[in-house]
Amino acid sequence: MTTQRATLSVDQILDRALDGQDISEAEGVVLLQQTEADILAAIQQTADHLRQRQAGNTVTYVINRNINFTNICEQHCSFCAFRRDADQAGAYWLDQQVILEKATAGVQQGATEICMQGGLNPQAKRNGSSLAFYLELVQTLKSALPDLHLHAFSPQEVQFIAREDGLSYAEVIAAFQTAGVGSMPGTAAEVLDDQVRKVLCPEKINSATWMEIVSTAHRLGMPTTSTMLSGHIETPVQQMRHLGWLRTLQQQAIEQDTPARFTEFILLPFVGQEAPKPLRHRVGRDQPSLTDALRLMAVARIFLGNWIVNHQPSWVKLGLAGATTALTWGCNDIGGTLMEEHITSMAGAQGGTCRTVEELRSAIHTLGRPALQRDTLYQPLEPASR
C-alpha cells in the first residue's frame, strides 16, 4: 500500500488522477477532508470523468434475489440489528424447501442470480459437518435451477465452516466451486483496520484473514466483490487504508495472473436506527450522510478505478434517489433488484427491500444515460437502451 505524505494541492491530485496515475492513500485523505462546495464539485467532476473513461456511460444492473437464510448467529457485531440467538424472539432459520421456493420465484421474475448469506449458526450441520450443510443448500438450488448464478457465502462464513470442520480455506472454497457456487460476496470486510474492527466486530475475522480468504478465492478461480461499511467510527485515514488494501489485492491478482479477481466495489454506508445502542450513540445519527457517502464514492473511483472498474452504491441504504445521484459521483452500476432484504432493513434503512427492473431503469434514464442488464460477472445480457 502507498504511505507517502501528501504534499500536492487538491488540483494537483485531481490532475494526476486525470492523467491516469494512481493517487496515494495520503492524497486520498486530503480529498476526503474537503468540505467546500467548489472543491467537492471538482472532486465529483473528476470522479465522473474517470467513470466515463474507465467504465463508459452505460449504467448496468442485475436482476437478482437476496436470501438471508438465517439470522441465528454466534457473533455480536456492534452495528448489527439482524442477528438473533436461537431462542430469541424474531430468530429464524429457513428450511431448504422454502429457500428453493424463494429462488424459483426469483427466477420466474427474471433473476439470473441468487445472493445467499446468513448468520453463523453452530447448529447448521449435516451429519456433524458444517460444510455438508452448506453444500446441501447449494446442491438443492443448483439441481433444480442449474443455470442460476449462485453468489454466496462471505469470507466470514468460509472461516466459520473451516473452523467448525477443521478444514483449510482452500478446501472450503474448492468444495463450494465443485457444488456450483459461482462467486463470493466480499462482505464481512467492514473496515480493514483492526482497531476499528475491535469496536465494530471483535468476534469477526481480522483484516489479514479476510484478505487471505479473498486472495485464496481469486487464486482458485472464484471471483469476489469488495465492500466497505462506512460512516460510523472510522477516520479518513482508515477509510483510505481499507481502499489501499483492496487496490493492493487487485494489483497482486493481476500481477500473479490469477483466474479470478474483484468484480466490483460497493460502498455500504452505516445505517444505525435499530443498531445496538452503544454504537448508535457513538456515531450520533441513525441514517447515513449522503454528502459523506458521495464524497467517499468519488474518492474510491479516483483511487481504485484503474484497478477495480465497476463501482456500485447501495439503494437499500441511500434510497433510490441517493443511489441515482451516486451515478454522477463515480458509480457505473446501480445494483440489483434484490426482491427481499433483511440485514439493512432490520437496521432501520428507509430505502426499501425490493426494486423492479422498471424502477431501476427509470432512475438511470433520468440521467439521460443508457441502461443495461448484466449478469453477476458484468457480462451484458441485452443491448443497452435509453
Q: Is 316 exposed, middle or buried, given 0-12, 13-18 or 19+ CB atoms closer than 10 A? A: buried
Question: How does DSSP assign 56-109, residue by residue?
Answer: -SPEEEE-EEEEE-B-B-S---TT-SS-B-TTSTT--B--HHHHHHHHHHHHHT
Range of the domain at 127: 53-373
User: Is 368 a domain residue?
Assistant: yes
* Alpha carbons within 13 A on the beta-carbon side of 299: 30
Give me the chain's average pLDDT, please.
91
Cell digits of residue 135: 453444500
In this prediction the pTM is 0.93
Q: What CATH number corresponds to the domain at position 252?
A: 3.20.20.70
User: Is 86 a domain residue?
Assistant: yes
Q: Cα separation of 306 and 38, whole Å?
A: 25
Cell digits of residue 19: 492523467
User: Is 234 a domain residue?
Assistant: yes
Quick one: how far is CA 379 from the chain centroid?
A: 18
User: Is 10 a domain residue?
Assistant: no
Q: Quick check: 325 pLDDT over 60? A: yes
Q: 335 in helix, strand or coil?
A: strand
User: Is 3 a domain residue?
Assistant: no
Neighbours of 134 (CB within 10 A): 27
User: Is 11 a domain residue?
Assistant: no
User: Is 284 a domain residue?
Assistant: yes
Amino acid at 83: R
Q: Cα separation of 259 and 95, whole Å?
A: 34
Q: 345 in helix, strand or coil?
A: helix
User: Is 30 a domain residue?
Assistant: no
Q: For position 385, what pLDDT does the model report?
A: 76
pLDDT tens digits, one per residue of 234-246: 999 999 999 999 9
pLDDT tens digits, one per residue of 158-205: 999 999 999 999 999 999 999 999 999 999 999 999 999 999 999 999
